[in-house]
Amino acid sequence: MTNPLLAPIDQLIDYAQIEAAHIEPAISQLLEQARAEVERIATQPTATWDSTVTALHNATEQLWRAWTIVGHLNSVINSPALRDAKTQCLPQITEFSTWLGQHPGLYQQYLNLAQSEAFNHYNAEQKRAIELALRDFRLGGVELQGADRQRYGEISEQQALAAQRFSENVLDSMDQWALYVTERSQLDGIPEDVLAAFAEAAAADHKEGWKITLKMPSYLPVMQYASQRELRHTLYKAYATIASDQANQPELDNSEVIENLLRLRAEESQLLGHTSFAELRLETRMADTAEQVIDFLNDLAQRALPFARQDYEQLKAYAAELGIDDFQPWDATYVSEKLRQAQYNYSEDEIKQYFTEPQVLNGLFHVAQQLFGVAIKPTELSTWHPDVRAYQVLDATQTLIGYLYIDMYARAGKQGGAWVNSERSRRQTAQGLHLPVTYLVCNFSSPQDGKPALLTHDDVITLFHESGHALHNLLSTVDEPDVSAFAAVEWDAIELPSQFMENFCWEYPVLTTLSAHVDTGAPLPFALYQKLLAAKNFQSGMQMVRQVEFALFDMLVHHQPQGLSITEVLDTLDQVRSQVAVILPPSWHRFPHAFSHLFAGGYGAGYYSYKWAEVLSADAYAAFEENAIPLADGSRNTLVAETGRLFRDEILAIGGVRSAADSFHAFRGRQPSPDALLRHSGLVENAA
């Protein structure tokens, strides 16, 4: 039987044929082949670009693609068999990765290249690739000796296993929790389309009534609309205690996993000569020191706190008008939605009727074409689930430049949240061009009653955000994968394209292409758009300090010379909240236990990136505002092709060939300024 994971690198993967039984044989075979080839490369008498860098890619590219696919499938169609297969291979993969990063012979070959006469004649991509490789060798422990080298390998394996366990505990804790409601009155206030989904979920379990889960399309509407306060409290507590000691699933408690990860990360940083894991991570970031990041976050907090406190007092006052005198955190989302409706005379549910998924996707593709000159067209490819759709990405000459898979809906066995990953980056080889293959994953509500799926405006923003990541990979003109966007752009700048794309979701000419009422097909009315825009910065102060809270907590727990106990972790969070939060959760709240960004998603000591890159993205979008075309109805068209082409050439296409700071300067002609972010967020007096 042919193993689909062993398909040649220049062929597309037959996802529908992949089974858990394929994983271990494929990974073992590819590991063996790669190891033998690396040894050959490392012992060659003379290093050249082709005999070293090109040969190393040829040796490992198929392995890393197969492992990316395994991780991806584990996230989107998780099953016991898939999970076991990944767990079985994880130690081998981690050991190989550590061995590769510490290989003295391979390191010497790259040093020889850097010191050779030929280096002076390499192009910018080649020089950057070698410089980054030498940096990564050092950060990978290549200079460690003896017991330290062995311990580094053990730490790497233990971290990988702990991160996987963290992710699995969160997924299982969410999937195993459900609330079945049999009395319709308990669901008062929840929109009918949401109730239909709840009823369908209960029927699928052969139960009467309605099934509520902790997946976001189920959880959020309850918190927004359910008039039954006790129901909101039940959902809030279940969500706030996922994978923790406060849930009734002790085997899924992430307390020990968090302690282990923090201890291992601190030990890793000490081995590599750094005072903390945060300082280690900042070796590959735009920011220089943890103190610089903390100062940046504290400055944002101080600017936002007066607005956040105003937001909170307004919320409490309105809660009292609703008869809620003892305002609690599980009331916040509900009261916010009621206040929004009262202030701006619209509801999220009303807006949602205009954002049908097919129209939103068509509108997104229109924006990409207007800005960047690319067409995104459906194509028939093998997928991992019937809901997944595949697309070809074509440039202005109708030349194929990449493939995009979109997986939109929440389901059991699928990790929550939204993300983008790359199965394969663009690479120019002697045999031809390998085109990028990109996954875009969301967790939206699925279609109901024969109608298309309806997205909230926040969902639309999420989709545009992820499309920015996808386009960063798909529009690359970089020939060397080592300096592609996802491989080489500094982590605290990687959110620039994604946050940049969000801005278009607030422009009326764009929204008319994104919207078509589910019943009438009419676009979003201008009057309703004006209400939406007026509410854009509704509670933006509270939103800003909440993100600062997450980022400060992350930086502080990782800027330690050693690990922390779970009590110390929670104490740190409490200290941060006392400084920057305006809504203080109850003592049983266990937010860190499900904070997968930090403990399973690569954002450890990096969550500040969202705010750091938001400064860059807001300033970048200001260039489109400055060049916008005025329209007869008084609105403006920010889909300016000339500015879009510059953004594509200087930010998206260039990947990590140069530093993110240099790329931003090439686009904007100056250093970034936070003024646009504060203006867009309404955190300045008389903000437009």
Residues 442-455 pLDDT 10s: 999 999 889 999 99
Amino acid (one-letter) located at 27: I
Q: What is the pLDDT of residue 679?
A: 85
What six digits make up the tokens of 660?
A: 């993110």
Spell out the residues 6+ positions from residue 297 whose beta carbon is closer than 8 angstroms to its own: 548, 551, 552, 555, 608, 611
Query: pLDDT grade, residue 685 (50/70/90)?
Result: low
Q: At what angle do helices 540-558 and 290-321 cross, to 10 degrees?
A: 140
Euclidean distance between CA atoms 241 and 593, whole angstroms: 8
Cβ–Cβ < 8 Å for 522, 514: no
- Kindly provide the b/e burial profile for residues 469-501, where b requires at least 16 CB atoms within 10 angstroms of the residue's own CB: bbbbbbbbebbbbbbbbbbbbbbbbbbbbbbbb
Q: How do beta strands 419-424 and 400-409 pair?
A: unpaired
| 3-state percent breakdown (helix, strand, coil) of the chain, nearest 5 | 60, 10, 30
Q: What are phi and psi of 220, to 5 degrees?
A: -65, -45
E-strand stretches of 94-137? none
Query: pLDDT grade, residue 674 (50/70/90)?
Result: confident
Instruction: DSSP letter for 629, please.
Output: E
Query: pLDDT grade, residue 635 (50/70/90)?
Result: confident
Q: How many C-beta neighbours within 10 Å does residue 193 have?
A: 19
pLDDT at 684 over 90: no
454 has which bridge partners? Answer: 356
Amino acid (one-letter) located at 524: L
Q: How many C-beta neighbours within 10 Å does residue 149 have?
A: 16
379 has which bridge partners? Answer: 390
Spell out the residues 6+ positions from residue 302 whose beta carbon is closer than 8 angstroms to its own: none
Q: Which of 466, 490, 507, 625 is catalytic?
A: 466
Q: What is the CATH number of domain 4-101+103-139?
A: 1.20.1050.40
Q: What is the pLDDT of residue 634?
A: 81
pLDDT at 126 over 90: yes
DSSP assignment string, 143-189? T--HHHHHHHHHHHHHHHHHHHHHHHHHHHHHHT--EEE--GGGGTT
Residue with tokens 């930090």: 598
Amino acid (one-letter) located at 474: L
Amino acid (one-letter) located at 81: A
What six digits make up the tokens of 169?
A: 């505990």
Q: How many C-beta neighbours within 10 Å does residue 118 have?
A: 13
Instruction: DSSP letter for 522, please.
Output: P
pLDDT at 301 over 80: yes
pLDDT at 163 over 80: yes
- Residue 466 catalytic? yes
Mean pLDDT of 568-585: 98
pLDDT at 688 over 50: no
Euclidean distance between CA atoms 425 and 402, whole angstroms: 9
Cβ–Cβ < 8 Å for 606, 492: yes
Euclidean distance between CA atoms 377 and 360, whole angstroms: 14
pLDDT at 228 over 60: yes
Query: pLDDT grade, residue 673 (50/70/90)?
Result: confident
Q: How many C-beta neighbours within 10 Å does residue 528 have?
A: 17
Euclidean distance between CA atoms 511 and 589, whole angstroms: 38
Residue with tokens 């967020």: 681
Query: pLDDT grade, residue 681 (50/70/90)?
Result: confident
pLDDT at 516 over 90: yes
Q: How many C-beta neighbours within 10 Å does residue 65 have?
A: 20
Nearest to 168 by CA among 249, 78, 61: 78
Residue with tokens 């600017």: 303
Q: How many C-beta neighbours within 10 Å does residue 340 have?
A: 18
E-strand stretches of 537-640? 629-630, 636-637
pLDDT at 42 over 80: yes
- % of the chain exceeding 90 in pLDDT: 95
Nearest to 210 by CA among 218, 220, 202, 222: 202
pTM for the whole thing? 0.91
E-strand stretches of 383-497? 389-394, 400-409, 419-424, 427-429, 432-434, 437-444
- Domain ranges in the chain with CATH number 1.20.1050.40: 4-101+103-139
Cβ–Cβ < 8 Å for 620, 667: yes
Residue with tokens 């109805």: 633
Mean pLDDT, rounded, of the chain: 96
Q: Give residue-wise pLDDT tens across range 416-426.
A: 999 999 999 99
375 has which bridge partners? Answer: 394
Mean pLDDT of 205-219: 97
Residue with tokens 């050249």: 48
Q: Give residue-wise pLDDT tens across range 181-194.
A: 999 999 999 999 99
Q: What is the pLDDT of residue 1?
A: 60
Helix residue ranges per DSSP H, 176-247: 192-204, 216-225, 229-240
